Amino acid sequence: MVEFKEDVSIVLGGAAGQGIQTVEEILTRVLKLSGYNVYANKEYMSRVRGGINTTEIRVSSKKVRAFVRRIDILIPFKRGVLPWVEKRLTENTVVLGEKENVEEEYLSRVNFVEVPLNEMAKEVGSPLYLNTIAAGVVVGLFHGDFEALEEYLRKRFGSKGEEVVLKNIEAARKGYELGVKLCEEGTIGIEVKRDENVKKEILLSGTEAVALGAVAGGMNFLSFYPMSPSTGVAVFSAQHAEDFEIIVEQVEDEIAAINMALGAWFAGARGMVTTSGGGFALMSEALSLAGMAENPVVIHLAQRPGPATGLPTRTMQGDLNLVLYSGHGEFPRIVLAPGSIEEAFYLTAEAFNLADKYQVPVIILTDQYFVDTYYNLPELDLSKIKVEKYIVESDEDYKRYKLTEDGISPRSIPGYGKGVVVANGNEHDEWGDITEDEELSRLMQEKRAIKKLETIRKNAMMPELVGREDAKYVIVAWGSTYHVIREALEVLNREDVAFLHFKWVYPLPEKVEGLLEGKVIIDIEQNVTAQFAELLKKEFGLEIHHKILKYDGRPFSVEEILDALKGVLE
């Protein structure tokens, strides 16, 4: 008998097109409705059929939000899955499934529980029911809420007719009964606490959080060109475009996408583009225009490994330098990188106020790991959302680029007021007309690249401190690694290690230096050259003592961070 307590990691593996996604969806929703905390994340190949894709689902007594390497229960839908996840198998791993899907050499290493899924599916009437049976087995192992499962299947297959619904319910029941039996006869033991409150919670993904956050922040214009892993935000927005009464347009290329977003802002709307590194590369020309014309814009960049097409469906934090330094000429920008799904929602909403207020590009950096992650959370507080608009009415002598102390010129828009608005990507005078005047050229450069930047820096958000201020060691990290590091720290349980998480990556507030001075700094990033460490060095002259880096396209796991930290600390 193999027993799992408190926290079980279930991995489903199979070919693209085999329906793992369906099982994942059923399991996360039904287990959550049964009162279990759930977390899910997937990894997939850049192909539409075949290959091997896997999904990790954690089911836990406590809230879990991070990827773990270990696999407790593995369900392979084809041969090749076990070698693919080889490093993640432990001596406790239970493999549930068909014998034909498990290579010989693994039988001695894992606890194999043969489940005749195919045969059961045939009994129900078609091999198509395999997925539902597999989902039923897992729900059964947890003694999950069968009614919830039934209801879910009704919703999901309702459009296909009563016959299909009933067959699926029958398949689910067969699976469920088998799952319960496996526990009762003592093959597998599972002890995870349920929590009534969880049943009512929200299951949300990183993608959805960014899209909903954007709409909450007033986004009403989204232009994009499809590119993994950023497309999900466009898909979600398009599917709700009618409810939100917004424009979502798939355009001819990324160049058009960002230029359209600039046009939308110029006319007073709130525009966003969603893209990945390769698409952002094409946008750098218009980024400079945004800088020069002081045109607000919000860019969501979901990172994947590069250079070029790199690993299209995998994860990395390799585009920090791209967003920090792209564009010709000098101009400020704001770079944000949410660490949690909740944060992605609030921060994306806030990005629109920031863009509006400072009239600069605001870039939200996520990555494949982040957008494809989801878990249950109690709620999102919509009353916390503040949509701040800074558009002013123009008078007859309106000056779009009025020189001001803080570097911010009041922004009007065409058609609002008595004046006209002239914006310009050429160097300009206060009215927006072209100038080559020495003095004005200098003043305008200073306005944008110094005064405005300093105004932004003064108002920048501080990083979140996890742990004690007087800890000897400080971990610094940004974006999506937040929860993995937090969980590793909980396991590590040392008071002398603190963690600074940067969701506001640039420009860094001056006070950050004080938090890091005299500490042993450990930088954790998913890239080859420690780009954020470089930034800290550049901004504050800080020496980074240890770097924990990962760049194989896979996310950090809790175990990996823990091992690496132990290596550094001891």
Closest CB to other proteins among residues 116, 419: 419
Enumerate the β-bridge partners of residue 365.
301
Instruction: Find the binding residues for other proteins in span 218-277 (CB under 8 A).
Output: 218-221, 223, 240-249, 251-253, 255-257, 259-264, 266-271
> Of residues 57, 82, 233, 289, which one binds other proteins by CB under 8 A?
289
Whether the CB-CB separation of 258 and 283 falls below 8 Å is answered with: yes
Q: In whole angstroms, how close is the CB of 234 to other proteins at the nearest point?
A: 14
Whether the CB-CB separation of 71 and 9 falls below 8 Å is answered with: yes
H or E, element range at 285: helix 277-293
Closest CB to other proteins among residues 89, 172: 172
360 binds other proteins (CB under 8 A): no
Instruction: Find the binding residues for other proteins in span 394-433 (CB under 8 A).
Output: 413-426, 428-429, 431-433
385 binds other proteins (CB under 8 A): yes
Q: Which is it for strands 111-114 and 202-205: parallel, antiparallel or unpaired?
A: unpaired
153 binds other proteins (CB under 8 A): no
307 binds other proteins (CB under 8 A): no
**Amino acid of residue 477:** A
Closest CB to other proteins among residues 81, 260: 260
Enumerate the β-bridge partners of residue 524.
548
Closest CB to other proteins among residues 412, 526: 412
Q: Let me know the angle formed at the C-alpha of 335 by 252 and 228, rounded to the nearest 5 degrees.
A: 40
Q: In whole angstroms, how close is the CB of 285 to other proteins at the nearest point?
A: 6
Count of residues near other proteins by CB under 8 A:
79
- Using CA atoms, how far residue 56 sits from 33, 96, 154, 395, 476, in Å, is 18, 15, 25, 58, 27
**Cα–Cα distance measured from residue 495 to residue 163, given in angstroms and rounded to the nearest whole number:** 59
152 binds other proteins (CB under 8 A): yes
Prior bond of 410 cis (ω within 30°): no
Closest CB to other proteins among residues 40, 286: 286
Instruction: Find the binding residues for other proteins in span 481-520 (CB under 8 A).
Output: none
Closest CB to other proteins among residues 97, 291: 291
Stretch that binds other proteins, among 54-62, 181-189, 379-387, 474-482 (CB under 8 A): 379-387
Whether the CB-CB separation of 42 and 67 falls below 8 Å is answered with: no
Closest CB to other proteins among residues 442, 468: 442
Closest CB to other proteins among residues 223, 527: 223
**Amino acid of residue 35:** G
155 binds other proteins (CB under 8 A): yes
Whether the CB-CB separation of 555 and 484 falls below 8 Å is answered with: yes
Q: How far is CA 452 from the centre of its chain?
A: 29
Q: In whole angstroms, how close is the CB of 394 to other proteins at the nearest point?
A: 8
> Of residues 150, 195, 285, 513, which one binds other proteins by CB under 8 A?
285
Instruction: Find the binding residues for other proteins in span 168-227 (CB under 8 A).
Output: 200-204, 208, 212, 215-221, 223
147 binds other proteins (CB under 8 A): no
Q: Let me know the angle formed at the C-alpha of 570 by 488 and 477, rounded to the nearest 5 degrees.
A: 40
**Cα–Cα distance measured from residue 362 to residue 370, given in angstroms and rounded to the nearest whole number:** 19
